[in-house]
Structure 1
C-alpha cells in the first residue's frame, strides 16, 4: 500500500451551494450510483469549477485537487522524476505522481530553494537531490511516499492507523494505492476500512501482489470496488492488455467503472499517449524529454534510464547504441542532435549560478582558504564520472566521522598544504577522493574525469572491433567521434609535474593511499586519471585496464 499527498500548496477554496440536480451529475462522466451516500460540493479554484466530495456535512480531506475524471501519470520508480512529470503534463495528463520515496529518507533531507533552476529541492545529507519540483506542476503533482511495494496489504490495522493519522494531521488531500487481495471479499473489506479513514481517493492496481505485468489485470475486481465505495476509484494496471492509445484509456475506465485512470508503462514508453490527437513520434518525444532533463539538471543516469525505456526494442539501433554508450548528459544530447542546445543551456545555467554566487560569495564553489590554512571546496566525488588510474602517489590524509549521520570528511596534505571538501560522504574512500580533487582543481590540473580531454574517450561500453588487420570489417569507417574505449596517456618527455614529489619512483605500478594507481615518472599512465598532465597525448591501446572508483574490474 502506498500513501500519497499533494506536493504543493494551492489556492484557497470557496464552497458553494449544491442543488439536488447537481448532486446527481457525477464528476466521473455522469455515471450514477458510483458515489453512494455522498454529496458533491463545487469548489471554485482559479475561476474553474472542481467538485469536492462531502460526507456527513464535512469536506473529505480535499482542497483544489480533484480525482474525478482525470488522466493520471502513475508513480514509477526511477521514471517519475521532474522531466517525465512535466512532459506528461504537456501532453495532457491532469495529475502526475512522483516516484515512490521512502519517508525516512525525506526526514533526513533539507529543503533548498534552487534559484538557478527555479525549483525547490529536497537534498539528502550526501548532497543528492531526492525530490525536485517547480511551479509548472503546482497543484498537479502528488508526492508519493511509503515503504515500497505491497507489504502493508497483510496488515489492515496498520493501514487504517497510518491513513487516519495522515488525514487528521494534514489539510492536504491524502490518497492511497493498493493491489487486490486473493479473494474479492477480503479486498472489499479492506477498501471499506480504508474509505472510513477519510482519504480523498483510492487507486487500485488490478493485480495481486505476486502477479507481474504479463498477468491479466482484473477489471472485474476494480469495478466491484468502484461500485462499493463512495470516494473516487482510480483504475491502474491496463497498460499491457488494454491501453495502446488515448481512446483505450476511456475504454479501460468504462470497463472498470472507475472515476479516473492511472497510466504507468504505456506512459513510460511514450508520454504523449495522453494526447487526444494521438501519440507523437517517439524521436520528438525523446528530444523534448532531453530538453527538460538538461534545463532542470537531471542526473544523466536517470535521463539515460528513462530514454532506454522509451526506445525498448530499438536499443540495438544505431541511435540506441549511441545512447547506451553515453556517459554524460552532453553525450546523450549529441546522440539526439541536441549538442548545441546542451552547450547553450549549460552556458546560461553557469552564468545564472555565477551571478548568484557573486551575490553570495560565502557560497562560492572556487577554492577558499580558511583561517586554519585549509583550502576548501564543495566537491563530491562521482564514482561513475571519475577514472581510477593516476600518476600521483597518495598524500597524507586524515578522516573525521560525523556522529549524527556517520558521514566522513577527509583532509589531505600535499607539499605542506591541506585540502578539504566541504561536502561529507558515507564512504571513507570517496571522502578522500573528494579532498584529492580539491587539490587538483586548485592547482589547475585535470581531475581525472572519464573523457576529460574528449567526450568520446570514455565510451567504455562501446564494442570495439578487435579483429585482424586483414579483416574487411576493420576497413569500415568507425562511428563518428568514436575513439578506442581503452585509452592511455603518455607523458611528454621532460615534462614536470606542478606537484613534484607526488610521482612514484618504483619500477611497477603501485596503489596509492587513496585507491589510485601510480606509474614510474616518465612512463606511460593508463587511463585518464588524476595523474594526467597538461599537454599529455592520448593514444589508443587495446590492452590498457581502466577501472572505476571502488571497483577492481577491467573494462
Structure 2
C-alpha cells in the first residue's frame, strides 16, 4: 500500500464554504453548499457488483458507515424501471420491464445511499437519475471500471479518454437535478499525474459535489497495490471533496488516508466484502457474527435472491490469510460450514447452514411478513413512523431465542 512519506496537513472546512483551488476552466455549474457537510470526514462503502445491495448497505450502516454506494446500474435498465412500494417491509423497489427488482432501498438509508450509474450518454444518464433522485442522497457516474462489462459499452474507464463526453454527462446531471441530490463521479488514475489532475479539474468545473479516485491505473487489478501518493496532487488541485478508493482494509486506514493525503473521505470495497464490521471504531466483529447479521437482513426482505446472499457469504469466507481474523472465525469453504453454504439451494438453506437459530429466524420472518401483509394498513397505522424492519427484527429475534 503506497502512501506519502510525510503526513499531509489536512485542510479544515466549515461545511458551507470549500477552500479555493488554483485557477482552471470556467465552472459549468456551482457545487452544492452542503457538499463538505455530506462528504467531509466520512467512511464509505464502495460500489460493488453482486454485493452492494440493500442487506449489505444496511449492515455497513449498522456497523458505522457514513455513506453507502449501491452497485453500478446501467442507465438504460434504470430508465425503464417503475417505482413500487412494499408496505410489508417498508422498502421502495425499482422494477424493470422484465419485472425484476433492479434496486431496492428504504428510509433507513435515504440520507446516505448513493446510486452509481453506468452511462455513456448525458440524456440517458439524466433520465436514469430522475427515476431514483427522490430516494437517494447522491448520483455517482462510474468512470473507473476497466472490465469489459462497462468498457464495451463505452462506459466506465472508457470515459477517461473522452473528457468532453464525461463533462457533458456531469454538467447535464448537475444542471437538472435538485441541489439536494449530490452529483459525483469515480475515476481511476490516468497515465500521468498531470493528466489525472486535468481530468479531475474538468469534472470539478461541472459543479460535482465530490470526486472519487480509485488509486490504480486502468490496467491494474485488486492484487496490485494502490498508489495512494498519486491521489494527493488531485486533492491539492481541487476545491471539492476527494474520496480515496483502494487498499482500505482496517478502520484505521480511513483516518490514515485523511491524515496522509488530505482526502475528505475514504471508501472500502474488499475490506467490507470480507467483513462489514470494518466500519466499527471499536474493532472487527467475528466473521461468524457478521454472517448472521447479514443473513438477518436478507431474511427481512421479500424474495431476496438467495444467489446474491450465497455469493456474499462465500466471499466472506474467501478473505486472504493476511486479512483480519477473529478467534474462531471460519474463513474457508473447505469446511462443513463452507460446503453447506455452497450446497444451499434457498435462503432458508443458507440459514440452516449457520445453525438452528438462524433457520428459526428465517421462518419467523416469513411468518411475520405473511401476517403483516394481511394487516399491512392496520399495522402501519398502529405503529406510526416506526420502520417495519425494526418491528420485524424484534419479533423475529424474540421468536428464535
Q: TM-score, normalised by structure 2?
A: 0.74
Say whether 1:76 aligns with 2:83. no
Cα shift at 1:324: 0.3
CA offset at residue 52 of structure 1? 5.9
Q: Tell me, yes or no, if structure 1 residue 91 matches structure 2 residue 109.
A: no
Measured in 2, the distance between the counterparts of 1:87 and 1:116 equals: 20
CA shift for structure 1 position 254: 2.5
User: Residue 137 in 1 paired to residue 109 in 2?
Assistant: yes
In the other structure, the counterpart of 1:346 is: 366
Candidates 167, 187, 193, aligned match of 2:202: 193
Q: Work out whether 1:258 is the aligned partner of 2:267.
A: no
Q: Secondary structure at the match of 1:177?
A: strand
RMSD (Å) for aligned C-alpha atoms: 2.3
Aligned equivalents of 1:229 and 1:193: distance in 2? 10
SS at match of 1:202: strand
**Residues 108 and 72 from structure 1, CA distance in 2 versus in 1: closer, same or farther, beyond 3 angstroms?**
same
Larger Cα Rg: Structure 1 or Structure 2? 1
Q: 299, 322, 334: which is aligned to 2:305?
A: 299
Structure 1 position 322 matched with structure 2 position 340: yes
**Preserved contact between residue 114 and residue 121 of structure 1 (Cα < 8 Å):** yes
CA drift at 1:248? 2.5
Are residues 209 and 352 of structure 1, via their aligned partners in 2, closer, same or farther at CA, if it must alter by over 3 Å? same
Stretch deviating more after TM superposition (193-202 or 245-254) = 245-254
Q: Tell me if the contact between 1:175 and 1:199 (Cα under 8 Å) persists in the aligned partners.
A: yes
Aligned 1:3-402 pairs, distance under 5 A:
31-32=10-11, 42=15, 51=16, 53=18, 60-63=31-34, 66-147=38-119, 148=150, 149-171=156-178, 172-239=181-248, 243=249, 245-297=250-302, 298-312=304-318, 313-337=331-355, 338-356=358-376
Alignment of 1:436-447 (within 5 A): none
Checking the alignment, whether the CA contact within 8 Å between 1:105 and 1:124 is kept in structure 2 is: yes
Q: Structure 1: where are the runs of 5+ without partners?
A: 1-28, 43-50, 360-555
Is the strand fraction higher in 1 or 2?
A: 1
Distance of 1:206 and 1:341 partners within structure 2: 41
| TM norm structure 1 | 0.54
> 1:330·1:339 contact (CA, 8 Å) conserved in 2?
yes
Find the aligned partners of 1:281 and 1:150 in 2 and give their Cα distance: 36
Distance change in 2, residues 1:195/1:268 (3 Å):
same
**For the structure 1 residues 106 and 192, does the alpha-carbon distance in structure 2 shift closer, same or farther, using more than 3 Å as the test?**
same
Distance 1:214 1:255 in 2: 22
CA deviations over 1:78-100 (Å, ceiling 9, x no partner): 11100000000010100000011
Higher relative contact order (CA 8 A, sep 6+): 2
- Helix, strand or coil at the partner of 1:150: helix
> Does structure 1 retain, via aligned residues, the 8 Å contact 2:42–2:66?
yes
- Say whether the 8 Å CA contact 1:86–1:137 is kept in structure 2: yes
Report SS of the residue matched to 2:218: coil
- CA shift, 1:63, in A, is 4.3
Counterparts of 2:265 and 2:378, CA distance in 1: 49
The residue aligned with 2:3 is none
Match of 1:279, SS state, is coil
Could you say which structure has the higher helix fraction? 2
Question: Displacement, 1:125?
Answer: 1.8
Q: How does 1:499-518 map to 2 (within 5 A)?
A: none
Q: CA deviation at 1:258?
A: 1.1
Displacement after TM superposition at 1:119 (Å): 0.6
* TM superposition shift of 1:202: 0.2
